[in-house]
Amino acid sequence: MNGVATGVWECEPGSFEVPARENTESVYILSGVGSLTDMESGEEREIRAGSVAVLEKGSSVKWCVREKLTKFYVIVDA
């Protein structure tokens, strides 16, 4: 990656963890329903079409996808 990557990503229902991110990702949810949980604080945030989130470098997040999720993402490797 040359510092910035963009794309569209889809995920079927389920959950997974992203511990200690190595980059910063900004996401715009195009469709679907789910949640993002900060693995350190336990704070949970619902996401759905129209939601925007920034996942900071070093953060640890658990994704929970309840309805097939489609997102547009921008990843900055800095």
Cβ atoms within 10 Å, residue 72: 14
pLDDT in tens, the chain (78 residues): 579 999 999 999 999 999 999 999 999 999 999 999 999 999 999 999 999 999 999 999 999 999 999 999 999 996
Domains of the chain: 4-76 (2.60.120.10)
The pTM is what?
0.92
| Closest C-alpha to 50, from 66, 64, 70, 68 | 70
Please tell me the predicted confidence (pLDDT) of residue 2. 77
**Rounded distance between C-alpha atoms, residue 75 and residue 7, angstroms:** 9
